[in-house]
Amino acid sequence: MKKITIAVDGYSAGGKSTMAKDLAKEIGYVYIDSGAMYRAVTLYCLQHGLLKNEKIDEEGLKAALANNAVRITFHANAATGCPDTFLNETNVENAIRGMEVADHASAVAALGFVRHAMVAAQQAMGREKGVVMDGRDIGTVVFPDAELKIFVTASPEVRARRRFNELTAKGIAASYEEVLTNVRKRDHVDSTREESPLRQAADALILDNSELSPAEQKEWLLARVREAVVR
């Protein structure tokens, strides 16, 4: 069957990753979490003193990216069946999910030279098609020609509750209010930044999953994939 590119965009904590991961598994596609790449760059900054007192050492980060000192790769995790994120050959899948990285990731992702480097890497990963990539600018910037574009929405409260439950399940300490504040702050930064702000591609299909069960969502998605593959 024809392989296509599937772009999944939307606000943070909208359930995009879980949805995109499940979909990729179901149809035998490669799943790529582009947000994990911005998170890994943020972790690199925190680990190397490039992010202090809310200020990013842009020159330092630019040099690190130019010197290929920030190598981000994905490797399948046999236990979960999903790709884990690696930064310079170290598995950082858990390290990039904490609140410290989440709090700073929007600022790092707003830098034009960071986006430029990540978009080039994402386009290279998707060259062969057969990928489901999720993020903010996948349907608009990374793969404007994607055969299927989904824009996921849900209220900030619904998203914060989900992220809070996710963190709690992983044993990561956080309060619901803290998570809601973080979700709102990221919505604002992600949609008002100058470089590739979060917006819906004109040809994206909207999926509001506030009221959908995972099974209903999957059914809807598989129907859209079937349509896109025969188009």
Count of residues that bind ligand DC according to CB under 6 A:
14
The CB-of-128 to ligand DC minimum distance in angstroms stands at: 19
Q: Taking the mean position of all CA atoms in its chain, how far away is CA 154?
A: 16
Cβ contact 214:130 at 8 Å: no
The CB-of-49 to ligand DC minimum distance in angstroms stands at: 21
Q: Is 10 in the site for ligand DC (CB under 6 A)?
A: no
Q: Is 109 in the site for ligand DC (CB under 6 A)?
A: yes
The CB-of-226 to ligand DC minimum distance in angstroms stands at: 26
d(CA 14, CA 153): 6
d(CA 184, CA 154): 12
Cβ contact 103:83 at 8 Å: no
| 183/225 with CB nearer ligand DC | 183
Instruction: Give the β-pairing of 90-91 and 82-87.
Output: antiparallel
d(CA 221, CA 228): 11
Q: Is 147 in the site for ligand DC (CB under 6 A)?
A: no
| 4/32 with CB nearer ligand DC | 32
| 198/223 with CB nearer ligand DC | 198
Q: Is 104 in the site for ligand DC (CB under 6 A)?
A: no
| 15/223 with CB nearer ligand DC | 15
Residue 9 pairs in a beta bridge with: 135, 151
d(CA 66, CA 20): 31
d(CA 191, CA 169): 29
The pair of three-digit structure tokens given for residue 177, joined into one six-digit string = 């209010």
The CB-of-118 to ligand DC minimum distance in angstroms stands at: 7
The CB-of-221 to ligand DC minimum distance in angstroms stands at: 18
Report the site for ligand DC in 31-70 (rule: CB under 6 A). Answer: 34-35, 38-39
| 35/83 with CB nearer ligand DC | 35
The pair of three-digit structure tokens given for residue 121, joined into one six-digit string = 């890497």
**Applying CB under 6 A, which of residues 5, 12, 140, 209 lies at the interface with ligand DC?**
12
Q: Is 135 in the site for ligand DC (CB under 6 A)?
A: yes
Among 155, 115, 159, 158, smallest CA distance to 137 is for 115
Q: Which residue has the tokens 């310079």?
A: 88
The CB-of-209 to ligand DC minimum distance in angstroms stands at: 15
Q: Which residues make up the interface to ligand DC (CB under 6 A)?
A: 12, 34-35, 38-39, 105-106, 109, 135-138, 186, 190
